Amino acid sequence: MVDVGTKPTSHREAVACGRIRLAPATLTLLRGHRLRKGNVLVTAELAGIQAAKRTAELIPLCHQVALSHVRVRCELIPSGVEVCAAATCAGQTGVEMEALTATSVALLTIYDMCKAVDKKMVIGPLRLVRKTKTPLTEKEQP
């Protein structure tokens, strides 16, 4: 694990997005909330948030980060679903792994919930869209 103990605390944010391609019939079932496992998009969003909070348990040598906010949004697009996750914290290391993990697990949740009706789903691409680091003011310093 990399020593980040001497790095200054900064406000950090990362956004990651990914897609899953679904068959048109699967999209119709999704839109109509007619899949047997329930509301796919809401479940995927919750799964992504839970995954972001457990990233350090899943990725070896990844620092435990005190997340201040995680947002996961699933949006129907003509070819399937786009998932975007944003993670923020005030810390000494970035939150891109948390955003990427949230996106990945949300996509895997969609896959799991649709696999009974769609055998040709494809996940990808998955990418880091943005990461920022802003120094904290004196007032905000721990």
pLDDT band per the 50, 70, 90 thresholds, residue 9 = confident
Into how many domains does the chain fold?
1
92 in any annotated domain: yes
Would residue 82 be called left, alpha or beta, if left means φ above 0 and alpha means ψ between -120 and 50 degrees?
Answer: beta
pLDDT digits over 83-110, tens only? 999 999 998 888 999 999 999 999 999 9
45 in any annotated domain: yes
Closest CA to 19 of 85, 98, 69: 85
pTM of the model: 0.93
The domain in which residue 117 lies consists of 11-132
The domain that holds 58 is classified in CATH as 3.30.70.640
* Structure token digits, residue 94: 């970035």
58 in any annotated domain: yes
CA 7 to chain centre: 26
Residue 1 has pLDDT above 90, yes or no: no
- Which residues are known catalytic residues? 112
Neighbour tally for 8: CB within 10 Å:
10
pLDDT band per the 50, 70, 90 thresholds, residue 139 = low
